[in-house]
Amino acid sequence: MTTGDGTTGGGAATTGGRSAQLKHTGLRPGWTTGACATAATTAAYTALLTGDFPDPVTITLPKGQTPAFALAVEELAEGRAMAGVVKDAGDDPDVTHGALIRATVRPLPAGQGVVFRAGPGVGTVTLPGLPLEVGEPAVNPVPRQMMRDHIARVAERHGGSGDVEITVSVDHGEEIARSTWNPRIGILGGLSILGTTGIVVPYSCSAWIDSIRRGVDVARAAGLTHVAGCTGSTSERTVRTLYDLPEIALLDMGDFAGAVLKYVRRHPVDRLTVCGGFAKLSKLAVGHMDLHSARSQVDKGFLAELARTGGADEALAGEIAVANTGLAALQLCASAGVPLGDLVAAAARDQALEVLRGAPVAVDVVCIDRAGTVVGRSAPRGPAGTA
């Protein structure tokens, strides 16, 4: 018997849900550039206040994990401290695996807060449509908050003001960034400092797709009739808020939307919710089943056509077609009252139904932004248009 919290009678945990998928793959997780930068920042500021670098340095990730990082480099000088951590991406084929991520911390006058600078190898935002303003260093919002939080903790522990300048740099980052999409989206001069959980989830295609299948099997065996394919931890959190689903109903599909749909086609459940970032799901809406940035891209021309069906005039459609990112297109439509998020969700749902080929599964799609706010949503629809 399975209870609502995803445990079996007798108290033994089931082998379903997102964490079980990772265990099933046998792959070793790693750390994001944001986690590494936070560790380096924490060590540098501690040394600035105490004269000693903690090594290893322990940080707290957004979900409460407390990993320790060994320092690869450290330097203490008058008015500044620098520490560096080598990124370990685990078993993920990440281009930044092995990169040396440095943080240099300098004190600022009281009341200045935390100021971020891009050092060598970290990019600068030059085009709109990203979650950072033009001219800002490419240190994403969650890593920024992690660094602010750790600066505040170190300041409280060692009597600092917490007013600092943090310069993040990555050795050879500008060269590594040529293997990413950063130059195409206007992040110039290096890499982005990324991560929403601090943890890199490794994706071996065959192992992860197999884990998706096992997740569906566990949910069905538990008698669940509603499962959700999520692109990551933020979309998982959104789905749980919307539908109050147990953990074993959540499938971490990552970029493998096609794997979820094809397996559910052969092993149906009554309802499938697909939830993910607007840009990723705009790829599903146009027919891509692999949502990875290296294998599919946001089609702004398609978004422009969708926007026309929602009332966009030709001037707006033209702006969407040349927008820097999917987020920029979404923002343009939001300002004009065009429900592009809902249109993308409906188109993605219809593509999913095509892949399901009449299987008795009702599908709905939820598009979110980076913060997990719902920016588009479709009504559920089953085969032949049934609700």
List the single range of 5-9, 184-188, 233-237, 373-377 with lowest mean pLDDT: 5-9
Global pTM reads 0.62
Residue corresponding to tokens 């792959």: 27
205-248: per-residue pLDDT in tens? 666 777 788 788 888 988 999 999 998 888 999 999 999 999 88
Give domain limits for the chain.
18-25+203-385, 30-200
The pLDDT score that the predictor gives to residue 2 is: 28
CATH 3.30.2110.10 fits 30-200, yes or no: yes
Read off the pLDDT of each residue in 310-319 and give the average, rounded to a whole number.
Answer: 96
Q: Which residues of 49-68 are buried (b: 16+ CB within 10 A; e: fewer)?
A: bbeebbeebebbbbeeeebe
CA dist 102 and 85 (Å) reads 6
The radius of gyration of the chain's CA atoms, rounded to the nearest angstrom, is 22
130-181: per-residue pLDDT in tens? 788 999 999 999 999 999 999 999 999 999 999 999 999 999 999 999 888 7
Burial class of residue 120 in the structure, from the number of CB atoms within 10 Å of its CB (0-12 exposed, 13-18 middle, 19+ buried): middle
CB-based contacts of 171: which residues, under 8 Å, 6+ apart? 84, 99, 100, 102, 120, 121
Q: Are 24 and 15 in contact (CB under 8 A)?
A: yes
247-274: per-residue pLDDT in tens? 889 988 888 899 899 999 999 999 999 9
